[in-house]
Amino acid sequence: MKTELTNICKEKSSRFVASLFPSSIDHQCQQLASDIAGIGFCQLHYSENHLLYDQKLLDILHLSEYNSQNGLSDFFSLLHMDDAGFVKEAIDNAIISGQLTIECRLVNESNIQRWLAVKGTVYNSEDTSKPVLLLACRDITQEKNSVETIAALTKKLSLATSSGKIGLWDILLPDFEIHWDESMYQLFGLASNKAQPLFAVWLKSIHEEDVEAQKNIIENAIAEKTNFESEFRIVRPDNSIRYLKSYGFLRHNTKGDVCGVLGAYLDITDQKNAEQELSRLNQNLEKRAEELIASNNELERFAYIASHDLQEPLRMVSSFMHLLTDQYGDTLDSAAKEYIHYAVDGAERMKRLIMDLLEYSRVGTNKDKYEQVDINQVLKNIEQVFEPELSETKGQIIYGELPVIKGIATQIEQLFQNLISNALKYHGSLPPKIYITYKEDEQYWTFFVKDNGIGINAKFFEKIFVIFQRLHSNSKYSGTGIGLAVCKKIVDRHKGSIWVESEPNIGSIFYFTVYKYL
């Protein structure tokens, strides 16, 4: 059966194909042309209600073999549901007119959809003299998909241009004739007027400071045969200024000569306004930075004065009080000696206050570079500094292996020293024990300094880090109220945070972080 059907189809198909070529071309050439063109054939025996397919068409449709028992109803079952109606009507009309030209969709046994371009002609069967519709079918699925893709892209482009942010233009050479799409008129704030000389409108709309540059950019691109990008300003009829980004692509004729420029304008006004605002903010920041540098220089000058000029009168007061005591001590009564003691003590406290204030001011102006700091070595140095206090109180500084971090070495040591000094100063009845541990995450080192001292009331957790804020009288615990403020300033310098947890009569834990990537 397969051989019989194939031979019948080939014979009828050959007649149809032969009619397309001069009689001098032999049958093999005709068949080759059919194969190259990707054309398959089928015969529709209209009155007998059945079809015959050749193998080429079966291959195109990815169908298994159909036999002569397949009627028109079976053929229509292959058609896409939306196409069946007009295909049936077209076949009925073709039997009368003798010609058929349609495009339709078929869905094969695997539920795969194919597009077919179908051309047909009617002839009378030699055997029965009944009309037979010979159909030549070509697979146009890929073409249709491409058209649909282009249509989708065109729709997206249309949506983009309809927003008024993108306009398309075309320049025809050599007359420099310009064509705009509707969105170009929106970009330029103009009413659509096809009669307008657009080249003149274009030149008139460009900002006077940019017009020559834009003309030169396009002329140079045409002369050098290169695509181009540029930015320029336009002035709309309402005098508002818009910034446009221009993209130009050269078009060439068959000889390779430039025959036009196809391009697009993108409205970047919002972007430019944001850039200008950012530039203004940067300028303000630079000005502020200069002011801060000047302020730091003033602080450094103050630090010099504090470390020299302000201390000299205090040294004189202290020295003369000691001389007064040495030379006239035997003649002074107890009240005079008490006054001298207060004067000397006040001078010493003022000196300590000035030195602490000097240390506080230096933290922000320190020009030392960040370097690798071994915390183990830092604590060994601090143990030596506090050896007398540790011996007197039988205190201990307890720590395991600690990390090497990046920081300003002198400041990191000052930070630990201040915290340990407070733990030793504010210890309770028990010998002070100070535990130092740490943990780390991806960005920060976190250190813990824990003591068993007198503790801090929760309402003072914030206050203790403010300069000159003290919780105890000078008669009970000496100090200036600057130590923890210096700690906070050092931690800030290392892009970290410092805080405390504490219970009165239990002890305190000071936490601080140091940023890893300084």
Q: What is the pLDDT of residues 428-457, one digit of tens each?
A: 788 999 999 999 999 999 999 999 988 888
CB 377 within 8 A of CB 383: no
- In 318-408, which ranges are E strands? 371-374, 396-399, 404-407
pLDDT digits (tens, 9 = 90+) for 196-242: 657 788 888 999 999 999 989 988 998 888 999 999 999 999 999 99
- 399: tokens are 């720590």
Is the per-residue pLDDT at 482 higher than 80? no
| Distance (Å) of CA 298 to CA 203, 220, 292, 418 | 56, 56, 10, 26
Residue with tokens 């320190």: 366
- Cβ(17)–Cβ(25) under 8 Å? no
Place of tokens 């020293």: 417
Work out whether strand 396-399 and strand 433-440 pair parallel, antiparallel, or are unpaired: parallel
- Tell me: pLDDT of 23 over 90: no
pTM of the model: 0.44
Strands (E), 387-504: 396-399, 404-407, 433-440, 444-450, 498-503
Rounded to the nearest 5 degrees, what angle is found at the Cα of 430, between the Cα atoms of 424 and 436? Answer: 50
Q: Is the pLDDT of residue 410 over 70?
A: yes
Q: pLDDT for 121-131, tens place per residue?
A: 998 877 667 88
Give the span between the Cα atoms of 172 and 175, in whole angstroms.
7
Long-range residue pairs from 217-226, CB within 8 A, at least 24 positions apart, any chain: 217/246, 218/171, 218/248, 218/261, 221/248, 221/250, 221/261, 222/173, 222/250, 222/258, 222/261, 225/250, 225/258, 226/250
Q: Is the pLDDT of residue 183 over 70?
A: yes
Q: Which token pair is 280?
A: 């203004």
Find all residues with CB under 8 Å of 464, minimum gap 6, and list them: 456, 471, 484, 500
Are residues 432 and 470 in contact, defined by beta-carbon separation less than 8 angstroms? no
